Structure 1
Amino acid sequence: MPELEEPETGTEPNSVTDVLDGPVYVVTAAAVGEVAGCLVGFASQCSIHPPRFMVWLSTLNHTYRVARRASHLAVHVMRRDQQALAELFGGETGDRVDKFRSVAWQRSTDGSPVLTDACAWFVGRIERHVEGGDHMGFLLAPTEQSPPVEGVPVLLRYRDVKDLEPGHPA
């Protein structure tokens, strides 16, 4: 992957990024008999018609290596009281720990690992990859989703996990 030039001093968008507090997600993948998952902060719906969602994975991450071989990814939203799930998928690395050993999960129609205790989830077919510096974007076309959620849950957000020591550098 080509090296990107470092931005000049003062060109990072800190005045905006420092005040953002979006939801965090657990993204899971399966390929060639291997399952992986990680905590993700860079993700968003990016199209209404057709529906599309973009997930950004660190290229240093174990999940990234599995996701590059996968046809689909599963994206999970967690309630604020699911901090332990975020700590497992964000604070451990699949290089050393089987994260799926201690959580309830099942395979989706395409074989992606779905965390059954997640507040909500969807599986998306990987349409394309986008290089983005130290992260790779995965453009997803939704193919399967969880049942509707009742009410408006309080979601796990960046501020809830910002002090989490990552299993891998981002």
Structure 2
Amino acid sequence: MAAEEDMAEEGEKMKPFLDRLDPPVYVVTVEAGGERAGCLVGFASQCSIRPFRFVVWLSKANHTFRVARSARRLAVHLLGRDQQALAELFGGETGDSVDGSGRRLDKFAHAAWTPGPGGVPLLDGVPAWFVGRVAERTDAGDHVGFLLDPVASESAGRSAGHAGEPLRLSDVNHIAPGHPVD
């Protein structure tokens, strides 16, 4: 118990540093075993130049994590500042929700998308996305890192009206997460 309290105290010491950061947020989508899932992600980054690699961190409490555990590919979507509704759908709702008929909430019924490589859902109208093959999974506590080797990507670029800033963490901090954050 003392070790957990020490870790919590150390985390609080990091807060002033972390409060200065304002990274972009992403929607990660996945398909495995005939099940689709997706969530809003704030922990993600390029992590290697050669080979090019990117890592996304999914909360173990998240439905998307449970689907991604057996997935071979994930899609990572960069959102534009005008895409608050997508952020709210994938960040404020959970695939664990069940409606009155006993069916899980299908976030993709409320978003335009097309199947990508390996059937992974690709959200329409985002400034950029890539699909990555899962090269490795790393357990880091309450999140698991998915190391991705890109296999496909697309960027709408400035000509498609996405010349502005990406949606950032500060733009979505009002969204109540689909799952409680410990």
Which category of TM-score, normalised to the shorter sequence, fits these structures? over 0.9
Structure 2 length normalisation: TM-score? 0.87
Structure 1 length normalisation: TM-score? 0.93
Could you say which residue in structure 2 is the equivalent of 1:101?
109
1:9-158, aligned counterparts within 5 Å? 10-12=9-11, 13-96=14-97, 97-147=105-155, 149-150=157-158, 152-158=163-169
Q: Deviations over 1:6-58 (max 9, x none)?
A: 25264221121111100000000000000000000000000011000000000
Distance 1:43 1:61 in 2: 16
Q: Deviations over 1:76-122 (max 9, x none)?
A: 00100100000000000011221000111111122111001211100
Distance 2:118 2:5 in 1: 40
Structure 1 runs of 4+ off > 3 angstroms? none
Could you say which residue in structure 2 is the equivalent of 1:6?
4
Report if the CA contact (8 A) 2:127-2:156 is conserved: no
Letter in 2 for 1:166: P
Letter in 1 for 2:10: T
Percent identity of paired positions between Structure 1 and Structure 2: 55
Could you say which residue in structure 2 is the equivalent of 1:161?
172
Q: Which runs of 5+ in 1 are unaligned?
A: none
Distance 1:46 1:100 in 2: 29
Distance 1:10 1:63 in 2: 29
Q: Which runs of 5+ in 2 are unaligned?
A: 98-104
Aligned length: 166
Range that drifts further, 86-95 or 160-169? 160-169
Distance 2:44 2:111 in 1: 23
- Closer, same or farther: CA 125–7 of 1 in aligned 2, 3 Å: farther
Distance 1:147 1:91 in 2: 26
**More helix per residue: 1 or 2?**
2
**Larger radius of gyration, structure 1 or 2?**
2
